[in-house]
Amino acid sequence: MPSATRIKSPALTLALETSCDDTAVAILEHRSITEHRVIAASRAGQVATHAPFCGVVPSLAAREHARNVPILVEKVWQEALTKKPSLKSANLAHIAYTVEPGLAPCLLVGQTAAQTLAWSWNLPLKGVHHVMAHIASALAAPELKGNGYPLPAVALVVSGGHTSLFSVPSYTQIELLGQTRDDAAGEAFDKVARIIGLPYPGGPALEQLARKGDPARFNFPRPMLKDNSPDFSFAGLKTAVLYTWRDLKQSERPAARADIAASFQQAVADVLTGKAARAAQSLKAKTIIMAGGVAANETLRLALRDKLGKLSSKPQFVVPPKPLCTDNAVMIGIAGFIDMRLLDQKSSMR
Ligand code: KG4
Ligand code: ZN
């Protein structure tokens, strides 16, 4: 379907996301491959459940999803009815849900719910790749006004489970260029936050603390920045923070915490922006997309915008609104409708 094609009567879909610790449901109206309107959307997080364990416990997450999915489907449906009083299940084109990657027990809850709805409403099912959906969320950036972004694009997906660079030759086809060889960027944020005693989830807490810190005080490593590989590595950076923290006297730690947070965040931003800009240059990309939970980070957004501004090709920078950076069902709905595919299935994305 070409990008300019408009659908005669807009298609409505219902989408479910349960891959990790956010239960999310959305009903969307799709007017073209690039224009998607949210009719109703809701999300239930699980921070309180997992905070005592400093990380997501899959069995507890699955239990929460099983409790929340019916509640959210009902809530979103009622909300959609206030906007479209004649809405019926037969009006939906399909049900989209996250099929992979994610925590197996959590994915199973979403799949079971989606299958049940599809069976009882006699609708087709669309299994969506979660990382493709993060890239699809860029189409919801308000400045695009439903017109899409110039192609070809490069996409940087930075989340708790993934740090990957993709070539985006079309809205429906994506090719993996490189990915982390160890920790994901979000995972590194969460682990460093834990080292310096910040509450779970670590990413947003670390960003807040870093606002008060000096990003130049600690010269942490910028792993793999200088080589030409499109891959990433964050385990060494995390260990460098651990050793720095361990070597500080107890009395020095309170004053150093914000500087450590700011210096770590700067190191991550330097690596991510450096690699994304290099990929954009070599592929002559007209757009750079940044998506995933870590894309909510303001320092990273500013750093990438700044870096791209210095490239002679001046690619457009597209980042989804913050609520669509972390896991949500709107991105599943968009990706399910445009049916995004990974071109290079040989590369491991799990
Ligand atoms: O995309 P997401 O919701 O889930 C996965 O697919 O993994 O991303 C969650 C990750 C967590 O590691 C979280 O700490 C990180 O995104 N994150 C942030 C920020 N907000 C969320 N990292 C840095 N700064 C933030 N503001
Ligand atoms: Zn995600």
Question: Which of 326, 331, 332, 349 has most ligand 1 atoms within 8 Å of its beta carbon, as the pocket-test mutant?
Answer: 326
Atom of ligand 1 nearest to the CA of 159: 8
pLDDT of residue 253: 97
CA of 200 to the centre of ligand 1 (A): 11
CA of 10 to the centre of ligand 1 (A): 32
DSSP 219-230: ----TTSSSS-S
| Average pLDDT of the segment spanning 255-281 | 97
| 190 CB within 6 A, ligand 1 | yes
CA of 164 to the centre of ligand 2 (A): 12
- Which of the four pLDDT bands, split at 50, 70 and 90, describes residue 7? low
Percent of the chain with pLDDT over 70: 96
Of residues 58 and 1, more confidence is placed in 58
pLDDT of residue 8: 60
pLDDT digits over 134-154, tens only?
999 999 999 999 999 999 999
pLDDT at 1 over 80: no
CA of 253 to the centre of ligand 2 (A): 33
| 293 CB within 6 A, ligand 1 | yes
Please, which contacts does 64-68 make with residues 24 or more away whose CB atoms are closer than 8 Å? 64/21, 64/23, 65/18, 65/23, 65/106, 65/109, 65/110, 66/109, 68/23, 68/44
| 333 CB within 6 A, ligand 1 | no
pLDDT of residue 228: 87
pLDDT digits over 194-223, tens only?
999 999 889 999 999 999 999 999 999 999
Place of tokens 């956010």: 22
pLDDT of residue 340: 84
Question: Which of 103, 131, 158, 189 has most ligand 1 atoms within 8 Å of its beta carbon, as the pocket-test mutant?
Answer: 189
Nearest to residue 304, comparing CAs of 293, 320, 286, 289? 289
| 201 CB within 6 A, ligand 1 | yes
pLDDT of residue 288: 98
| 327 CB within 6 A, ligand 1 | yes
pLDDT of residue 316: 97
pLDDT of residue 201: 86
| 110 CB within 6 A, ligand 1 | no
* Rg of the chain (C-alpha set): 20
Atom of ligand 1 nearest to the CA of 193: 14
pLDDT of residue 27: 98
Confidence (pTM)? 0.94
| Average pLDDT of the segment spanning 261-290 | 97
| 287 CB within 6 A, ligand 1 | no
pLDDT of residue 344: 62
pLDDT digits over 77-132, tens only?
999 999 999 999 999 999 999 999 999 999 999 999 999 999 999 999 999 999 99
- Which of the four pLDDT bands, split at 50, 70 and 90, describes residue 303? very high
pLDDT at 3 over 80: no
Query: DSSP class of residue 180?
Result: B
- 322: tokens are 């913050």
- 336: tokens are 């399910």
pLDDT of residue 348: 47
Q: How far apart are CA 191 and CA 197, in angstroms?
A: 10
Tell me the average pLDDT of the chain. Answer: 94
CA of 205 to the centre of ligand 1 (A): 11
CA of 349 to the centre of ligand 1 (A): 18
Q: Which segments of the chain does DSSP mark as H helices, in order?
A: 47-50, 58-83, 104-121, 130-136, 185-195, 202-210, 235-247, 253-282, 298-309, 330-338
